[in-house]
Structure formats: C-alpha cells, structure tokens
C-alpha cells in the first residue's frame, strides 16, 4: 500500500482511528497503511490542522497515541432518528461512488443505520425510498479510478502540474499529456477534468474514464490559475460539457405541442427563453458557443422538434438525419442481399 495516494491514505487513516476508540500509535498506523512513520505523522498533523478532532496522548515509556477526541462541550458526531432515516432513504445517491473508499464508508454507515433502526423501520424506509428512485442508467463506474481521481483532486486543490495518460475517443493508443488541472465537473453520470493543456495552449476537457494514469511531481512551483477563473462561468455558453470557439450564437428550436410541456418543465440552460406559440407549440431560444450537444438534444425529440436558426444549426441537424437515414438504407440493402444469397432449406 506504499503507493497509495495522499487523500485516499488520509481517508483510511481517519477510518482506522474512528474504529479504535482508544486510538493507535504512529507505528501501528504505519504498519497498517504500509507507509513510513514520518508519512503518518505528517498526515496526522495535517488532519489536525484542517480541523478534525485528533489529539495526541503520551503513553508509558514515552510512546504516543493518536485518537479521535471531540472537544469538551461538543457531543460526538451523531444523528437524530429523522436525520438517520433521511440519510438511509438517500443512499441510492451514493451508488456512483460504489467501489471507492467513499462508497465503502457510506455502505458501512448505512449498515449501522439499519442495525440501529431494526427490520421493521428499515422495511418502511425501503418503501419510502422506492418513491424517490434514482436511475443509474449510463452512469460511469469509477471503482478502478480512485487513485487517479485522488491525484487529480490534489492537483486542483494545490495548483500542481499533472501528467495524465489519456486515450481520446478517436485515438488508437493512450498519450501522456502535461496539464494544469482547474477542477472536476460531473455531467450526465460522468466525471470530466477541466485543465489547461500546455501542448495545445488552451483549456481542454478530459473524460476521467479515459485517463489510465495520473501523476503529480513531488517538487513543483504552484501553477497560477487565471485570475477570476470559475468552472461554472467557464461552461456558461456550453450546452453541457463541450465548449466551442467562445463566440455565442442564438439558437432557435420549435417544439411541437405534444412535447412543449416537457421542455417547459426544466431549465436546460441559463440563457434559455421559452415562448408559447398560438398553435400550442413552443419556441426555445439559447445563447451557445457550440452546436454539438444541442444538436443531439434536438434529435432526441424526433419529429417533435425542429431546428430554426442559425443556418449552421439547421444544417447540423439535417446532416445527422441524412446520415442516419443512409445508415438504415445501407443496412436494409445488406440484409436483403444476405437473404438472397442464403441457400434454400
């Protein structure tokens, strides 16, 4: 476990101390986590300075033990019945973290809540939770990316340069890039790294699933993030995670009456303007700097949505439809030819 990433190691350190009411010595902790005593001492001091209730006690023969000890007057971390029930009902929200250290911690907490509440109460909460089901369709599994995500978070928080091994959708093999991480974005069940790519001299987005390795150099001068950089503002003109040229366009879409209410029920983008039409249809307008994601979104409504403006947007939608139709025509031709060549029984 010597190569365990710092944040993951510190999480395990807190988990170990939480399970030992009488505490543990530095040597015991270093043996359990597989790192040298110096690393454990540094982690403990860091966590204490951060605000976690850790105290050091001198034992016999001068040995020192660390344990979790809430200050006088502050009750140990606990929950009321309704707080515990609410957390248990919301356990499905932690499913994307399954397999990670955080997911394991949540699973342990839910197991304790079940034990405290009893079978009857748990069955009742299970029925209640069913009314708030969270779908997990097309969500990403990051159980094998715990260390990578940890390294990326450290690089973001400490303004460090990261070397990531990345294979884009079109690439045939992975390539190592030097990047300056700015933050992580969760979009449609997947994580994306927003970082400045030195070789391209621009900010790029990297899908975390496609990062097979991430490394931070121990000795570095902190990277200076652009003044006023904000992730939310950075993505303001995108329809999700893809950024364009930075030049916004006014997008217009007409939705048929049958789906107008569905569109009206959500805020799809901060710039959206929805206008009801006399025939019951809905005119939607957005200010965006890229057409790719909004094109896919319009196509998902089938014939109930029509691209109106600008011309580039209309062309993008019609071209997707044309290619889709050609693909079906080609497949029908292949199927027909195959049937003709099939020998009679």
Does the structural domain 235-345 have CATH classification 3.40.50?
no
pLDDT at 81 over 50: yes
146-231 placed in CATH 3.40.50.720: no
Task: Give the rounded percent of residues in the chain with a pLDDT score beyond 70.
Answer: 83
pLDDT at 338 over 90: no
What pLDDT is stored for residue 137 in this prediction?
A: 59
Q: So what's the pLDDT on residue 226?
A: 79
Other beta carbons within 10 angstroms of residue 179's beta carbon come to 26
Name the pTM for this structure. 0.64
288 against 87, higher pLDDT: 288
Q: For the ranges 75-89, 167-181, 229-243, which has the lowest average pLDDT?
A: 75-89
Residue bearing the bigger pLDDT, 214 or 63:
214
Question: What confidence category does residue 110 fall into, taking pLDDT thresholds of 50, 70 and 90?
Answer: confident
Class (C level, CATH) for 6-68: mainly alpha
């Amino acid at each position: 476990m010597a190569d365990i990433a710092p944040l993951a190691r510190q999480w395990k350190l807190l988990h170990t101390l939480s399970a030992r009411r009488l505490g543990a010595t530095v040597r015991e902790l270093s043996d359990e986590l597989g790192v040298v005593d110096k690393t454990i001492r540094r982690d403990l001091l860091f966590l204490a300075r951060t605000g976690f209730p850790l105290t050091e006690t001198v034992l016999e023969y001068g040995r020192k033990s660390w344990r979790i000890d809430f200050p006088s007057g502050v009750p140990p971390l606990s929950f009321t019945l309704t707080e515990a029930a609410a957390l248990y009902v919301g356990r499905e929200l932690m499913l994307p973290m399954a397999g990670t250290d955080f997911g394991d911690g949540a699973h342990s907490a839910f197991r304790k809540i079940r034990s405290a509440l009893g079978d009857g109460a748990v069955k009742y909460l299970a029925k209640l939770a069913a009314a708030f089901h969270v779908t997990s369709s097309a969500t990403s599994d990051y159980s094998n990316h715990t260390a990578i995500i940890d390294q990326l978070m450290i690089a973001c928080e400490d303004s460090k340069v990261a070397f990531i091994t990345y294979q884009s959708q079109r690439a045939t093999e992975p390539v190592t890039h030097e990047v300056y991480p700015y933050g992580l974005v969760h979009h449609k069940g997947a994580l994306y790294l927003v970082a400045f790519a030195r070789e391209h001299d621009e900010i790029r987005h990297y899908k975390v699933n496609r990062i097979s390795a991430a490394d931070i150099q121990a000795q570095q001068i902190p990277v200076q993030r652009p003044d006023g950089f904000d992730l939310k503002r950075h993505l303001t003109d995108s329809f999700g995670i893809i950024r364009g040229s930075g030049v916004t366009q006014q997008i217009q879409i007409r939705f048929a009456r049958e789906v107008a209410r569905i569109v009206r029920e959500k805020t799809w983008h901060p710039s959206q303007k929805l206008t009801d039409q006399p025939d019951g249809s809905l005119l939607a307008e957005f200010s965006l700097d890229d057409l790719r994601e909004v094109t896919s979104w319009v196509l998902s409504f089938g014939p109930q949505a029509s691209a109106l403006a600008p011309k580039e947007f209309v062309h993008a939608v019609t071209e997707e439809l044309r290619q889709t139709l050609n693909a079906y025509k080609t497949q029908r031709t292949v199927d027909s030819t195959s049937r003709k060549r099939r020998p009679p029984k």
